[in-house]
């Protein structure tokens, strides 16, 4: 059920694949003062849809989300490829390996987070997204919805293709992924990503060039574990169950990034940056450019091609003939982490983990 429009808040739909860093995106979407989180859909990606939707439900409960914010399972596989690629080497088989303190997947609190229709059947990502945009946009009498993607964009591409008539009700699409010069391994999402960048609505690309600057280094981890924010010389035992859970998340994620990608200072907090952008775009700098996605390359499928130079003429429309993405290029890293830690303070006051 979509909550009524909240004046002064940005209506936001989050599509994700939790995933350690997706969990922090969910936390920010719940606790940033100017965000109205409408719902959370999940997709194949870091792990299977069974686990991504379960993890999203577990996070909503752990982070004290209002009861009306629910989860909607989405696509189990890519648009035109036989099998999704998961990331057990980074996130474990269940997507949140090493994270302690989350509620059991079969607990009543977690099961209550699954959105159901009048007949008690679980609603899909497409149903949830469609319902949210229709109700909030209200045929032009309401507000436009920002749709954020932190995983493969299969659900978003399906929504764009199935409901072009609802795109007037979308303020912007914001996605984490791609890069300008290097990148990740995401061939399964290539066709979906091309549909998204070619859509006629404003689109924001948050590439790895930027997310790799948001490193949870020792000092940030220590602040997360501290009773007071100025205590950051040593890693203390976390003072609450919520912080213990988040510390275990960072610890596992840091180990995975150290062993797989040789990140020695800590893991990058990719996905949370999408929500930070929607809340405070002035933290970022970027340029409006044309972006394509390679869909047929033997070694490069899924790569984003960012047309940095202007020798090819693109107009000012969004979509295939225009400068179709605002490509973010830098971030005020310290301010971002201050915002994240402030949200953790707010979450600490309401998390049911702390009352167990």
List the beta bridge partners of residue 116.
122
Query: What is the H or E stretch that residue 327 is in?
Result: strand 325-331
- What angle is formed at CA 212 by the lines to CA 208 and CA 215, rounded to 5 degrees? 150
Closest-CA residue to 189 (of 173, 199, 176): 176
> Would you call 8 helix, strand, or coil by DSSP?
coil
d(CA 258, CA 21): 15
Among residues 31, 44, 61, 270, the one annotated as catalytic is 270
Q: Radius of gyration of the chain from Cα atoms?
A: 19
- Exposed / middle / buried, residue 341 (Cβ in 10 Å: 0-12, 13-18, 19+): middle
Catalytic residue flag (residue 270): yes
- What angle is formed at CA 135 by the lines to CA 130 and CA 138, rounded to 5 degrees? 115
The catalytic residue positions are 270
């Amino acid at each position: 059920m979509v909550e009524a429009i909240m004046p002064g808040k940005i209506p936001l739909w989050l599509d994700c694949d939790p995933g350690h860093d997706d969990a922090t995106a969910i936390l920010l979407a719940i606790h940033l003062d100017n965000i109205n989180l409408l719902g959370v859909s999940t997709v194949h990606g870091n792990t299977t849809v069974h686990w991504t939707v379960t993890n999203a439900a577990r996070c909503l409960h752990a982070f004290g989300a209002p009861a009306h914010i629910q989860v909607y399972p989405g696509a189990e596989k890519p648009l035109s490829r036989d099998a999704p690629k998961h990331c057990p080497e980074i996130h474990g088989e269940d997507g949140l390996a090493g994270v302690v303190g989350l509620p059991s997947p079969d607990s009543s609190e977690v099961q209550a987070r699954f959105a159901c229709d009048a007949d008690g059947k679980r609603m899909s990502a497409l149903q949830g997204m469609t319902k949210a945009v229709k109700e909030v946009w209200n045929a032009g009498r309401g507000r436009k919805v920002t749709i954020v993607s932190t995983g493969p964009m299969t659900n978003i591409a399906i929504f764009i293709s199935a409901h072009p008539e609802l795109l007037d009700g979308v303020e912007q699409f914001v996605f984490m992924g791609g890069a300008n010069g290097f990148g990740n391994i995401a061939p399964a999402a290539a066709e979906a990503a091309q549909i998204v960048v070619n859509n006629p609505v404003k689109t924001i690309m948050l590439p790895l060039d930027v997310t790799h600057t948001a490193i949870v280094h020792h000092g940030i981890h220590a602040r997360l574990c501290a009773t007071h924010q100025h205590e950051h010389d040593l890693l203390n035992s976390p003072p609450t169950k919520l912080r213990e859970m988040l510390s275990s998340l960072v610890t596992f994620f840091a180990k995975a990034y150290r062993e797989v990608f040789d990140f020695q200072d800590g893991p990058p907090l990719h996905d949370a940056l999408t929500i930070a952008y929607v809340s405070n775009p002035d933290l970022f700098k970027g340029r409006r450019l044309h972006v394509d996605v390679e869909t047929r390359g033997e070694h490069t499928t899924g790569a984003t091609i960012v047309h940095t130079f202007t020798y090819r003429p693109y107009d000012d429309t969004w979509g295939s003939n225009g400068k179709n993405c605002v490509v973010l290029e830098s971030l005020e890293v310290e301010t971002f982490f201050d915002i994240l830690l402030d949200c953790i303070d707010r979450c600490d006051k309401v998390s049911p983990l702390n009352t167990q």
